[in-house]
């Protein structure tokens, strides 16, 4: 899988590219992350990429031309504009995007984009209903979420039992040694070696945790069924 990221701040991604699963996946050849500074595609003096808003208003908008010209270099990829107006990202969308061999993420900044940029992209995605300074953090979130689903990046069994996978519920509680810490004990069912009972307990606990922390997920699952 190849992920292109269009950003005015390539330095944001240095640590991200060179740590943990992302670094390992690149080293093994399962993942390539390519950072493109779309300021380099500006035809304006001093490589300007933003300008005032037609009709008036505060702030500056990113111009359509430098982003369009940058996108021309990655035409064979699935192109995603990161913005608060996009569909809200979730694990289902992560699986959907992971099917593409090449993806391009476009990071915004300032007051947003010239609307005409939408004519040159395939999708528009938001990571949540809140405001960030730019699209760099959303790009990292989406990159990691889809990269870890790519073949060879992590064991398939490792992510199949995580939150939002399979039945869509949150993950069940998990424990490790010691079995008793300051009186807080590991549930007895996990210590008896009965895998059938353990599996039943985990399913029940996943539902209970989801009901307690995210009732919206329970409602969504009911509506889907």
Confidence check: pLDDT of 156 > 80: no
Which residue, 44, 34, 38, 43, is CA-closest to 70? 38
Percent of the chain with pLDDT over 90: 84
129 marked as binding residue? yes
Neighbours of 35 (CB within 10 A): 19
Take residue 45 and report the two structure tokens written for it.
């003096």
Alpha helices per DSSP H over the chain: 14-17, 20-27, 64-71, 91-98, 136-147, 156-160, 195-213, 215-224
- State the pLDDT at residue 224: 82
> Could you give the angle at which helices 136-147 and 91-98 cross, rounded to 10 degrees?
70
28 marked as binding residue? no
183 marked as binding residue? no
Q: Per the confidence metrics, is the pTM higher than 0.75?
A: yes
User: Quick one: pLDDT band at residue 161, thresholds 50, 70, 90?
Assistant: low
Pairing of strands 180-181, 60-62: unpaired
132 marked as binding residue? yes
Which residue, 132, 82, 95, is CA-closest to 110? 132
29 marked as binding residue? no
Q: What is the pLDDT of residues 51-66, one digit of tens each?
A: 999 998 888 999 999 9
CA 23 to chain CA mean position, Å: 16
Q: What is the pLDDT of residues 169-218, one digit of tens each?
A: 999 999 999 999 999 999 999 999 999 999 999 999 999 999 999 999 99
Confidence check: pLDDT of 159 > 60: no
Specify the DSSP element, H or E, that contains 3.
strand 2-7
Instruction: For the chain, report the end-to-end CA distance as a whole number of angstroms.
Output: 33
CA atoms within 13 A on the CB side of 195: 0
The mean pLDDT value of the chain amounts to: 92
128 marked as binding residue? yes
Confidence check: pLDDT of 86 > 70: yes
Phi and psi, residue 52, nearest 5°: -70, 160
Neighbours of 104 (CB within 10 A): 25
DSSP 183: T
172 marked as binding residue? no
């Amino acid at each position: 899988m190849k992920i292109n990221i269009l950003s005015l701040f390539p330095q944001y991604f240095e640590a991200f590219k060179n740590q943990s699963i992302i670094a390992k996946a690149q080293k093994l050849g399962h993942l390539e992350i390519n950072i493109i500074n779309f300021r380099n595609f500006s035809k304006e003096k001093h490589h300007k990429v933003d300008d005032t808003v037609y009709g008036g208003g505060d702030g500056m908008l990113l111009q359509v031309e430098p982003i369009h010209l940058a996108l021309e270099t990655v035409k064979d990829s699935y192109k995603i504009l990161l913005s608060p107006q996009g569909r809200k990202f979730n694990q289902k969308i992560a699986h959907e995007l992971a099917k593409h061999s090449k993806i391009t993420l476009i990071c915004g900044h300032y007051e947003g984009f010239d609307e005409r940029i939408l004519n040159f992209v395939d999708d528009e995605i938001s990571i949540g209903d809140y405001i960030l300074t730019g699209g760099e953090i959303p790009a990292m979130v989406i990159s990691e979420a889809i990269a870890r689903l790519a073949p060879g990046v992590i064991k398939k069994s490792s992510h199949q039992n995580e939150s939002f996978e399979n039945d869509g519920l949150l993950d069940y509680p998990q424990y490790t040694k010691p079995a008793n810490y300051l009186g807080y004990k590991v549930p007895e069912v996990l210590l008896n070696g009965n895998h059938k009972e353990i599996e039943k307990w985990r399913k029940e606990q996943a539902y209970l945790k989801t009901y307690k922390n995210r009732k919206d997920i329970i409602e969504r699952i009911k509506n889907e069924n």
